[in-house]
Structure 1
C-alpha cells in the first residue's frame, strides 16, 4: 500500500445555529469544502428532555445535494414531503437525495423527549453534479444491523460500510456519484488499514477517542479532529490510542462551480433564486408541522 499523505489537519470548532451549538469541521475559513462534500456538522451529545429539546428541526426544504444523517446516539423521527415517516435509531443512517426539491423535518422522537436521553449525530452534505441537481427526490434509510462490516486481523477494529466498497464488501446505499462512507469503531490498541481509490478526495473525522494515522498524525478531540488526504496513495493506517470512533469519507471530485444559500446547493446564483421561488410556490411539496 502507498499511504496517502495528509494535506491538512483541522480542529472542529463549535458554531451556533439558532438554539443549537454544534461542531463544524467544514466549511471554515481554511477549508471551504472537500469536493464532493459541502458541509459536515457534528451535533450533540445533547441531553434531551421535556424541559430541554434544542434539536427539533421543523419542516425545511433542500435542493441540489444529498443530506445524510449518521445517528450516533438516541433516536430521531424523520418526516418528508414524499410521505416517508421513520424512526432513525443509534447506528442507523438516512440518505436523502434532495434533487429538485424535498421538504423534511427531523428531531428527537416524542418518546425520547418524554423519557429523557441523549442524542448525537453527524449531518453530511454531498454535492450533486449539475446534470443530477434536478432529478426526483429520494429517501433511503438503513438500520445499524443491515450494514456490512469488516474486522481487522487483531479483531479490535470494525469498519461499517455505509456507502461504497471496502475489502470486497459493499455499502447499503445507492449513491448518485462515486462515494465511500465508513464508520470505524476501534478499541484501544487496535490497528487496521483503510483502502480507497486514488481518484477520490479522502478525509477522516474523529468523533471520539484518540488515534494515530499513518504512525505520524494524531487525531484527538479538541485538537485535530479532521484530516484531509492528498490524492497520492491508496489508503492509510489507523492505530487507536484509546477506544475511538471515526468517520471516513471519500469521493470523486465533481469539479464544478458551487453556489449555496441556506438549504440549497446549486451551480449559479440564478438557480438559487429559482429554488427559493419554487419552494415558495409549493413546487417542492408540503409537510405539515407535527
Structure 2
C-alpha cells in the first residue's frame, strides 16, 4: 500500500459560538475548506446540569448542505420541521440532508439535564452538489450498535463505518455524494490501515489520545490534532500510542463555487439571498420553541 502523503497538519483552536466555547479545526486562517467538507466543530466536553446547561440550540434553518452530528458523550434531543423527534445517545449519528430547507433544534434531553452528565460531539458540514442543493430535506438517525465495525488484526482498533465503505463493509448512512466517515477507537499499541479512493480528499481528526500516522507524524491533543492528506496514495496507517479516538473523513471533491452565509451553503450570493427570503416566508417549514 502506498501511503497518502501529508498536505497540512492543523491545530484545533477554540472559538466562541454564542454561550459555548468549542474547537474549530475547519475552517481556519490557513484552510478555507477541504472539498466537500465545509466545517468541523468539536464541541464539549460540557458539564450539563439543571443549574448549568449552555448547550441549547433553538430552532434554526439550513439549506444546501448536510449537517451531521457524531455524538461522543451524553444525550441530545433532536427535533425538526419534518416532524422528527428523537433522542440521540452516545455513539449515535444524526445525518440531516438540509436540501432546499429544514429547521431543526438540538439540546440535551430533559432526562439528561435532570440527572446531569457530560456532552461532547462533532458537528460536520458536508456540501451538496449544485444539482442536489434544492432536493427535499431528509433525516437519518443511526444508533451505535447498528454500524458495521472493522476490527484490526491485533483486535485493538475498532473502526465504525458510519458512511461509505471499508474492507468490503458498508456504512449505515445513505449518502448523496461519494463520502467515507469512520469513527475509530484504538487501544494503546493498536494498528490499522484505512484504505480509500485516490480521488478523495481526506482528513483525520484526533478527539482523544495520541497516534502516529504513516509512521511519520504524531497527533496529540492541544498540539497537532488534524492531518489533511494529498490525493496521491491508497490510504493511511495509524498506530495508537495511547487509548485514542479519531474521526476519519474522505470524499469526492465537488469542485464547485461555494457561497456561505450563516446556516446556508449555496453556489452564489443570489442563492443565499433567496434562502434568507424563503426562510422568512416560511418556505422551510416551522418548528416551535419548546
TM-score relative to the length of structure 1: 1.00
Q: Is residue 2:138 matched to residue 1:138?
A: yes
Matches within 5 A, 1:98-137: 98-137=98-137
Question: How many Å apart are 1:185 and its aligned residue?
Answer: 0.3
In the alignment, which residue of structure 2 is the partner of 1:284? 284
Matches within 5 A, 1:106-255: 106-255=106-255
In the alignment, which residue of structure 1 is the partner of 2:86? 86
Q: Residues of 2 paired with 1:226 and 1:87: CA distance?
A: 29
In the alignment, which residue of structure 2 is the partner of 1:23? 23
Q: Residues of 1 paired with 2:288 and 2:73: CA distance?
A: 27
Q: Secondary structure at the match of 1:198?
A: coil
Q: Residues of 2 paired with 1:6 and 1:54: CA distance?
A: 37
User: Cα deviations across residues 176-203 of structure 1 (Å, max 9, x unaligned)?
Assistant: 0000000000000001101000010000
Q: Secondary structure at the match of 1:173?
A: coil
- Runs of 4+ with deviation above 4 angstroms: none
Q: Residues of 1 paired with 2:270 and 2:237: CA distance?
A: 44
Count of aligned residue pairs for this structure pair = 290
Q: Residues of 1 paired with 2:271 and 2:84: CA distance?
A: 27
User: Cα deviations across residues 53-87 of structure 1 (Å, max 9, x unaligned)?
Assistant: 11100000000000000000000000000000000
User: Cα deviations across residues 92-140 of structure 1 (Å, max 9, x unaligned)?
Assistant: 0000000000000001011111111000000000000100000000000
Q: Structure 2 regions of 5+ residues with no counterpart?
A: none
Q: Secondary structure at the match of 1:78?
A: strand
Q: Residues of 1 paired with 2:235 and 2:275: CA distance?
A: 39
Q: Residues of 1 paired with 2:217 and 2:51: CA distance?
A: 42
Q: Residues of 1 paired with 2:236 and 2:61: CA distance?
A: 37
Q: Secondary structure at the match of 1:274?
A: helix
RMSD: 0.4
Q: Residues of 1 paired with 2:144 and 2:192: CA distance?
A: 21
Q: Secondary structure at the match of 2:113?
A: helix
Q: Residues of 1 paired with 2:54 and 2:134: CA distance?
A: 32
Q: Is residue 2:13 matched to residue 1:6?
A: no
Q: Secondary structure at the match of 2:204?
A: strand
User: Cα deviations across residues 217-254 of structure 1 (Å, max 9, x unaligned)?
Assistant: 00000001000000000101100000000000000000
